Amino acid sequence: MPNYRTNLMLCAGTGCVSNKSFQVKTALEEELKKQGLQDEVQVVATGCQGFCAQGPIVVVQPEGIFYQLLQTEDVPHLVEEHFLKGRPVEKLMYTPRKDEAPVPRIQDIDFFGKQKLVALANRGIIDPEDIDEYIGREGYKALAKALTSMTPKEVIDEVKKAGLRGRGGAGFPTGTKWEFCRNSKGDEKYIICNADEGDPGAFMDRSIVESDPHALLEGMLIGAYAIGATEGFIYIRDEYPLALKRILKAIDDAKEYGLIGENILGTEFSFTLGVNRGAGAFICGEETSLINSLEGIVPEPRVRPPYPAVSGFMGKPTNINNVETWANVRHIINRGADWFQGIGTDTSKGTKVFSLVGKVRNTGLVEVPMGITLKEMIFDMGGGIADDKKFKAVQIGGPSGGCIPDSLLDLPVDYESLKKVGSIVGSGGMIVMDENNCMVEVARYFLQFTQGESCGKCPPCREGTRHMLNILTAITEGRGEPGDIELLEKFGGLIKETALCALGNTAPNPVLTTIRYFRHEYEAHINEKKCPSHECKTLITFTINPENCTGCTVCARNCPVSCIAGERKEVHVIDQERCIKCGMCHTVCKFDAVRVD
């Protein structure tokens, strides 16, 4: 085996793969061979490294040099300069802004500075398809400890003491959930991993599976031992082909090593694990709907009680946790509950993985201690708002989360604090919005998603969200009426109280929080028939200011419906009857002549 002096950790998560990171890998390997460096420099395809906006990413170890946005044409110069001549290439490094100096090392980049990796502990530093690399970083050590020196009750007690709460949305105490299932009567018990991640803009679970699939498997094995389950399932959406490929390989490798199957590690514990590919129904994120789907019946939520811990898959006691929850388990067993207790807040222990997306400079995946503030995440790690716009709101918790305004930027990110302001942690989606976002349209967009994904079983969710969506649509189209805001609040409260499952219970959150914090925007839409953010097309008009128009014809040439008239060097005019309000004229005008009213 070659003794490599340098390892090139190439991001091969879905985001970077879509930007041709595998082609970059091939180009690097070919160029290294060409320069005679193939026995000195190794290229390692890792999982998602988090800083998705800058992909494809290569981190040079052990120095920690961070290269970003690499293209195959960059490779010959990079290899010759850095790995042959020893001169790192600054122009390929991360630069916060164009007028700032490059930041050479990954540990000095603000995006990574306040992160604390637990669930993503192996992110970017191992080959996720090599079980030996996982084992080399204490992989399956926690499983061995649990099976050989801990009773099932001791495992559950340790998880309970740690304060780990479910990372899939509701935040229910994980150890307590396991205890319920352990104490339920039944000759067979099952455990399930919910990897059916359907929130728009969310990719936390996918990235964990792509980066460290064995962490999920080890957590499930420990959980199965604690609960007394002998069979389990991973329910993963089919839209995650790379994650699916890696988890299937991880299972095969674990079976080959005797870590899944009969008499694991020479003990009496046996466990089998299967994978089910979901078809993309958002409702399957709800655990009883997921169980129905596994059983081959319509994925609708079940009336509870009985809870899955008593009667779940095939009527047997069943425990369901999501990917991130399972990935935390091995660290609690290895390091102890007191270590985990030392991270986070009094009621929200540990870390949480978030997808930081939207109108923020640095988008990607972050894992932070519970209790970090919104300001730290958005402005320190996220680098602030893109294009120097003003921050307006952040929506946390997926499509059913609440929208939090700038006045609450110092809010700690934890279960209780977010609940007080009308939001939820959810699975970890975080969408940042700027001054150009209309909050009424934001509420309409997210409610349209949840309303469309409702299974339709219970009237509050099926009919209530439809009525709310109709009202919101009317408001954004200039047909809002006095009393609409009060109707939305009334419907939202009723749905939250009476819907059958969490999809319905939380669907009104975007509407209720935008009314709570941005009521003036609703009033402007209804009373003045204006959209303050100039986003609702029906309520805006594009006109040309004759004082600024130079007659350059750029607007006319770019208008998709040819509704702008005027000769060269003469003032142009927009035909309002034919204008489709696409905004192209406003975008292309270099003289600030197109006015939006």
Closest CA to 240 of 125, 323, 118: 323
Strands 231-237 and 58-61 come out as unpaired
Nearest to 32, CA basis, from 22, 23, 41 = 41
Those residues of the chain that have pLDDT short of 70 are: 1
- Please, what sign has the CA dihedral across residues 544, 547, 548, 552? positive
Which run of H or E residues covers position 588?
helix 584-588
Q: CA torsion, points 365, 370, 371, 375, in degrees to nearest 10?
A: 0
Q: 10 Å Cβ neighbour count for 148?
A: 10
Place of tokens 């085996």: 1
Cα–Cα distance for residue pair 354/368, rounded to 1 Å = 8
Token reading at 466: 């439809």
The pLDDT score that the predictor gives to residue 99 is: 73
What's the sign of the alpha-carbon dihedral 50, 51, 53, 55?
Answer: negative
Q: How many CB atoms lie within 10 A of CB 25?
A: 23
> Rounded to whole angstroms, how far apart are CA atoms 337 and 161?
6
553/530 Cα distance (integer angstroms):
29
- Alpha helices, H only, 374-508: 374-375, 415-420, 439-453, 459, 465-476, 484-498, 502-506
Residue 82 CA to residue 5 CA, distance in Å, equals 13
Q: Output the pLDDT for position 583.
A: 87
- What is the rounded distance in angstroms from the CA atom of residue 408 to the CA atom of residue 284? 32
Give the per-residue pLDDT at 1. 60
DSSP string, 215-261: HHHHHHHHHHHHHT-SEEEEEEETT-HHHHHHHHHHHHHHHHTTSSB
In the β-sheet with 58-61, what is the strand arrangement from edge to edge? Answer: 41-46, 6-11, 58-61, 65-67
Cα-only R_g, the chain: 26
Strands 190-195 and 318-322, sheet pairing: parallel
Q: Which domains does the chain have, with CATH numbers?
A: 6-109 (3.40.30.10), 131-341 (3.40.50.11540), 351-434 (3.10.20.600), 439-528 (1.20.1440.230), 541-596 (3.30.70.20)
Residue 11 to residue 58: CA distance in whole angstroms: 6
- Peptide bond before residue 56 is cis, with ω within 30 degrees of 0: yes
